[in-house]
Amino acid sequence: MAEDSCSVKEMETELKDNPCSSEDAFAVNPKKKKSKAKGKVKSQHEGKEKTHRKIKTPKEESMDFEDRRSQVNVKEEADKDPDFVTEGKGKKRKRKADKADGRSSTSEATLPKKKKKKVAEEGQGNSPIAKKKKIKEKKEKVKKEEGGCSVSTKKKKTKEEIEAARALKIKKKEEEEKQRWRWWEEEKYEDGIKWKFLEHKGPYFPPEYQPLPDDVKFYYNGKAVKLSLPAEEVALFFAQMLDHEYTTKEVFRNNFFRDWRKEMTLEERQLIMDLNKCDFGELHAMHKQKVETRKNISKEEKLVNKEVNQKIVDEYGFCVLDHHRERIGNFKIEPPGLFRGRGDHPKQGMLKKRIRPEDVIINCSKDSHIPEPPAGHCWKEVRHDNVVTWLASWTENVQGSCKYVMLNANSKLKGEKDWEKYEVARRLKSCVDAIRTQYQEDLKSKQMGTRQRAVALYFIDKLALRAGNEKEEGETADTVGCCSLRVEHITLHDTLDGQKCVVEFDFLGKDCIRYYNKVPVAKRVFKNLKLFMENKQGGDDLFDRLNTQVLNKHLSSLMPGLTAKVFRTYNASITLQQQLKELSNMKENVAEKLLSYNRANRAVAILCNHQRAPPKTFEQSMANLQAKIDSRKEQLDLAKKELKQAKKEAKGSTDNKLLIVVEKKKKAVKRCEEQLLKMEVQATDREENKQIALGTSKLNYLDPRITVAWCKNMEVPLDKIYNKSLRDKFAWAVDMTEHDFVF
DNA sequence: TAGATAACTTAGCATCTTCAAG
DNA sequence: CTTGAAGATGCTAAGTTATCTA
């Protein structure tokens, strides 16, 4: 998040210059007047544009879509902009909205039902016999190795152990595969029922706080102070973070100090009045020491730790859902600590409290073995609600929101939902043209609300913006999505770089990731934007007649199950499909095909603005790779020379030896060339990927069936693209997708 | 029927693990 | 065998949407 850190830096200098706490800064922050230009639509604008421009046909529009990826300005440009600071904004934006009907449920989505009869619980591997055989072989192998050379050196033995462990792992994997629940071949449950039986052990609680040893002291105002346990624990949270830049931020420090004092005893509170007089040095040093020793532990200890962890996973990491053992995603209760929100979060530094069993609600079957709370404790509640998917929940104290323990992505519950998501997106494909035509038409509407809706939809569709819910002021960082865009977030250019009607976007989106883009838009959109911005200030809402409920209500009337985020899924998947078709070629080798895939993936990531901070070691590792390429090039030159020489010598000769040498050299050249190409491809890929994150779209937006089908057609092994977890998560797609799948 | 909240998806970064090169 | 980069996984914050409640 380069731009993030950039604004952070600026924040800091600002803070240095201005010694008042930023809490004060917040209070002082002049609220921008929000002049809601209600009913200010000038009707004479209507219809004017007809003379200038005909409505785009869906086809023309879709051409726009194709070169969308080139429009997205990768953020370097934005990075350079030193003026980029989003000011703390004025007010809470709560508006009354037409109530969303809520009747349009996604559950109507019809999954392509494979009318197969229920498969037996154990599930059938593709070729169970072959698998069993394999497993047997493995077992024998393991046995052999175990018995084989027992009188060997210690080293060898551990090696063997590793080998055995590996074999065991493979065996385990195969068993796993065999036991995979092929839920996608079963009938779905009716209306909202998520399970009929659910049993688990409850969440795993982090270990209790271990008091400081006596020789590690906290000092206040130069004097050693023995803190009470609760205060000490919180002090340690802060001490541990001392290397982080954010412990220097005023908001963070103030929030921390306020919450810390709440944990203190009366005397402590009376003594410790100023954070600047606190010396956490020894605590910090102790923590660093601990990290260091943890890093240096022996292999044996590591193995022991691993086993201990595995035991925890085995005990708490699984549940039984409708007769199948399923992995739980996050079975560990979040440990206490200091809250660190993203970006400029007003609550950063606040204490995230320790969760006790008394805070936790358990959800499971009535007839299951109810999880035991830790000794001496009880649950807040045990309920048996089978229309939800969570196993346990608690309320987090910083934001007051609910946290849930849910299943792993490879579970039936998650998989089915995911599948459904892509089916909804595919349904959008069949009616997207009509919807586009409609919103183009709506741009001319007499109703201001309708026009705003149309423009918002245009953005959501064309630029893959998020819906943009309203947020409560002061509770979170100031970020926006489509519906919550403010006037200050866009700049209109009648012409820019030879293009007409360019909208320049500059705002912080989810996770405070900057969205910066200059996009030529339809003239009518441009005109509407001008209209929406009339008589408004920077801090005013661009779409003052619109919110996500209104928008989604409208969308669901166009297609059941349609909401704003479906457009992101749809456009991401369709872009991947198009790009793959365009970029990849059967003639390429696997490395090149993978580059093509990554490029298609990248087009999607750019569309969705999935960014990452360039890896810290990026420059170095790039240079290393380049060095390797150079040396390989030299090798290649050498090999070529040698080949020439060999050819020369062999010319006219019938000496078999010489001919063989020529062949050898030829092979060497070829190998060199291949390796070089591979590295060069890798270098290109990495460079292009510098600040783009491919993972998010792969995980959340791209219909896996597109990828599976592409792999089949291109003869690329799937595991070159999907790692184990992805293959598990998308098991349904891997299993059911034929080569002719079309999104 | 709006506003609150519950439920669930999406997100990037941190950390742990693995694997390949030196 | 060591080192470091890449890749995988873990963590939890931050969104969206559905649903509840007064």
Q: What residue has its CA nearest to the C1' of B10?
A: A700
Mean pLDDT calculated for residue range A420-442? 96
Predicted pLDDT at A4: 32
Report CA(A105)–C1'(C17) in Å, whole number.
10
Residue nearest to nucleotide C20 (CA to C1'): A102
Nearest to A108 by CA among A564, A551, A420: A420
Higher pLDDT, A47 or A220: A220
- Count Cα neighbours of A253 within 13 Å in the Cβ-side half-sphere: 18
Which nt sits closest to A549, CA to C1'? C17
- Say what percent of chain A tops pLDDT 70: 76
The gap between A557 CA and C21 C1' (Å) is: 25
- Is A664 inside a domain boundary? yes
- The reply to whether A684 has its C-beta less than 7 Å from any atom of strand C is no
Report the pLDDT value the prediction gives residue A485, as an integer from 0 to 100: 96
- Among candidates A568, A594, A572, A567, which has minimal Cα distance to A583? A594
pLDDT band at A169 (very low <50, low <70, confident <90, very high): low
Query: Region A517-529: what's the mean pLDDT?
Result: 96
Catalytic residue of the set A458, A515, A516, A701? A701
What's the mean pLDDT when you consider all of chain A? Answer: 79
Distance A249 CA to C10 C1' (A): 27
For nucleotide B1, give the residue with the nearest CA to its C1': A99
Number of Cβ atoms within 10 Å of the Cβ of A463: 23
Per-residue DSSP letter, A608: T
B22 C1' to A695 CA distance, Å: 31
Tell me the DSSP string of A471-538: --TTTS-----STT-BGGGEEEEEEETTEEEEEEEEEE-GGG-EEEEEEE--HHHHHHHHHHHTT--T
Residue A235 has pLDDT above 80, yes or no: yes
User: What's the CA gap between A356 and A333, in Å, rounded?
Assistant: 9
Shortest-distance nucleotide from A166 CA to C1'? B18
Domain-located, residue A6: no
Distance, CA of A696 to C1' of B12, in Å: 9
Structure tokens at A247: 């412990």
- Among chain A residues 545-604, those with CB within 7 Å of any atom of strand C: 548, 552, 556, 561, 563-566
**pLDDT range class, residue A741, cuts 50, 70, 90:** very high
Task: Say how far apart CA A461 and CA A65 lie, in whole Å.
Answer: 9
Task: Round and report the angstrom distance from CA (A640) to C1' (B7).
Answer: 64
Which residue is the nearest neighbor of B9, CA to C1'? A700
- Strand C bases, protein C-beta under 7 A: 1, 4-9, 11-20
- Domain assignment present for residue A625? The answer is yes
Q: Is the pLDDT of residue A261 over 80?
A: yes
- Helix/strand/coil for A239: helix
pLDDT digits 0-9 by tens, A487-497: 999 999 999 99
Strand C contact at CB of residue A155, distance < 7 A: yes
Task: Please indicate, yes or no, if residue A589 is contained in any of the structural domains.
Answer: yes
Query: How large is the angle between the packed helices A618-650 and A656-688, nearest 10 degrees?
Result: 160
Q: Encoding tokens for residue A62?
A: 């879709």
Q: Is the CB of A511 under 7 A from strand C?
A: yes
Kindly calculate the radius of gyration of chain A based on its CA atoms and give it in whole angstroms.
31
Q: What is the pLDDT of residues A69-124, one digit of tens each?
A: 333 343 333 333 333 333 333 334 433 333 333 333 333 333 333 333 333 333 33
Confidence check: pLDDT of A464 > 70: yes
A 387-446: CB within 7 Å of strand C: 396, 398-399, 401
Tell me if A160 is assigned to some domain: yes
A695 confidence band (pLDDT: 50, 70, 90) = very high
> How far: A219 CA to B1 C1' (Å)?
57
Q: Indicate the pLDDT class of residue A302, thresholds 50, 70 and 90.
A: confident
Decide which of A55 and A540 is more confident.
A540
**Residue A731 domain flag:** yes
Active-site residue A246, yes or no? Answer: no
Nearest nucleotide to A556, CA against C1' atoms: C17
Query: Could you identify the residue whose CA is nearest to the C1' atom of nucleotide B21?
Result: A628
Domain with A143, as residue range(s), is 128-179
Is position A232 within any domain? Answer: no
CATH number of the structural domain spanning residue A597: 1.10.132.10
A324: β partners: A321
CA distances from A484 to A62, A184, A185, A400, A550 (A): 26, 38, 42, 23, 13
Residue A618 (CA) to nucleotide B21 (C1'), in angstroms, measures: 18
Residue A584 domain flag: yes
Residue A398 and residue A346 in contact, taking contact as beta carbons nearer than 8 Å: no
Using the structure, give the distance in angstroms from the CA atom of A623 to the C1' atom of B7, rounded to a whole number: 47
Domain total for chain A? 2
- C-alpha to C-alpha distance for A249 and A346, rounded to whole angstroms: 11
**pLDDT tens-digit map of A615-674:** 777 777 777 777 777 777 877 788 888 888 888 888 777 778 887 888 888 887 877 777
How many other C-beta atoms are found inside a 10 Å radius of the C-beta of residue A268? 19
Is A362 in contact with A271 (CB distance < 8 Å)?
Answer: no
CA closest to C1' of B5 belongs to A401
Q: Could you give the angle at the alpha carbon of A429 between the alpha carbons of A427 and A431, nearest 5°?
A: 80
From the list A411, A236, A344, the residue with the least C-alpha distance to A1 is A344
CA of A99 to C1' of C21 (A): 14
Rounded to an integer, what distance in angstroms lies between the CA atom of residue A260 and that of residue A45? Answer: 58
Instruction: Kindly provide the b/e burial profile for residues A214-237, where b requires at least 16 CB atoms within 10 angstroms of the residue's own CB.
Output: eebbbebeeeebebeebbbbbbbb
pLDDT of residue A444 exceeding 60: yes
Residue A469's nearest nucleotide, by CA–C1', is: C16
- Mark the nucleotides of strand B covered by protein, meaning any atom under 7 Å from a CB: 1-13, 16-17, 21-22
Task: Point out the nucleotide closest to A402 (alpha carbon to C1′).
Answer: B6
Q: Cβ within 7 Å of strand C: which of A 218-277?
A: none
Between A112 and A358, the higher pLDDT residue = A358
A298 touches strand C (CB under 7 A): no
Q: How confident is residue A304, by pLDDT bands cut at 50, 70 and 90?
A: confident
Closest-approach nucleotide to residue A420, Cα vs C1': B9
pLDDT at residue A173, as a whole number: 62
Q: pLDDT at residue A128 above 70?
A: no
Amino acid occupying residue A669: V
Residue A172 is predicted with a pLDDT of 61
